Amino acid sequence: MTDILAEYADLSPMRHSVALSDYTTLRIGGVAELFFEPAKPEHLVSLLSRLQKDGVPWRMLGAGANVLIPDAGIKGAVIHTGGMRRAFREDECLRVWPGVTLPQLLNITRELGLAGIENLAGVPGHVGGALALNAGSSDWGIWDVVREATLWDPQDDTLQAYQPTEIQPQYRDGNLSGRVVIEALLALEVSTPAAVKTLFEDVVRRKNATQPVTMSSAGCAFRNPRGDSAGRLIDASGLKGSRIGGAVISERHANFIVNDGGASSADVLALIDLMQETVLEKQGIELHREIIVW
Ligand SMILES: Cc1cc2nc3c(=O)[nH]c(=O)nc-3n(C[C@H](O)[C@H](O)[C@H](O)COP(=O)(O)OP(=O)(O)OC[C@H]3O[C@@H](n4cnc5c(N)ncnc54)[C@H](O)[C@@H]3O)c2cc1C
């Protein structure tokens, strides 16, 4: 194993036994056996290819804003996209690496006066994670502005550029089928910095008024059922403020589970079960998780 590890380290900066709680917005998660932070998309591809060939289990991690990681940690490799933060303008398009954060992306588009991604204002995440989950609002997702995304496929170790019609992303699901986002070309609309700033501020104002933005959370725990809101159903089931250990259902927005200090992954899972069971019993509706449980 030692020699192999040295070769991995040549492909990307690598650390052992890294606490993943430092890399998730819920501040929950045990230790990753191996933790990589490649600096360039081509290094990411070489690393993935090598890990796959060697049979080392691996997972991609962006800003950790939508994952629940077990307290027992992760065997194998976690690849954090945070080292790959570059964006390049191509006319009204932006070519972005997978570790560009959504706040960085918003700043860039504001400065350049490029509109189209205002629904991502106030959303934490990296571009790769956002494409994996088709992050956005109730009726819009980031794939709506993707012209082309380069994905690596672990099945056959190939790199291919896809258009959205070939991927068919769904609500809060990029439909990547295990493929990894290596780069994306976003097609935006030419506007002005002032107009883009106003659009962002409107979205942020609405979120600040309704979401527990200052608390540690992983965003919405459940997807909205068609024509309804998971938050409304959880609230109507009398669950706001319910607590298991350090995990609490936010008083501000019932679809947010917040870490009130010292919550474990097990606390959050138990609260998720309670919410699903109670909403099914009282409202007759089955809630489906938006948080990804590793
Ligand atoms: C306060 C708060 C508000 C939020 N509001 C919203 C909102 O309004 N709308 C919304 O959609 N979401 C929202 N979220 C959830 C979250 O911000 C988004 O889902 C975001 O896209 C997650 O990106 P990430 O980089 O953190 O992904 P992570 O949580 O790190 O990973 C999520 C999944 O993507 C996979 N992944 C990561 N990188 C890649 C890659 N390069 N290629 C392939 N797969 C990859 C991971 O393996 C994992 O399965 C919110 C979260 C918080 C904490």
**pLDDT tens sequence across 40-65:** 999 999 999 999 999 999 999 999 99
**C-beta separation of 294 from 68 below 8 A:** yes
Report how far residue 88's alpha carbon sits from residue 93's, in angstroms, rounded to the nearest whole number: 8
| Secondary structure of residue 160 in the 3-state scheme | strand
Tens of pLDDT along 205-239? 999 988 998 899 999 999 999 999 999 999 999 99
pLDDT at 13: 86
Contacts of 5 (CB under 8 A, 6+ apart): 14, 34
- State which amino acid sits at residue 102: L
pLDDT at 138: 87
Q: Which residues of the chain have pLDDT under 70?
A: 1-3
pLDDT at 2: 53
Ligand 1 nearest atom to the CA of residue 216, by list position: 53
CA atoms within 13 A on the CB side of 91: 3
Averaged pLDDT score across all residues of the chain: 96
Ordered domains of the chain (ranges, CATH): 2-83 (3.30.43.10), 87-194 (3.30.465.10), 214-293 (3.90.78.10)
User: Using a 6 Å CB cutoff, which residues line ligand 1?
Assistant: 25, 59-67, 81, 98, 123-126, 128-130, 132-133, 135-136, 172, 176, 180-181, 213, 217-219, 292
- Give the distance (Å) from ligand 1 centre to CA of residue 106: 16
pLDDT at 12: 87
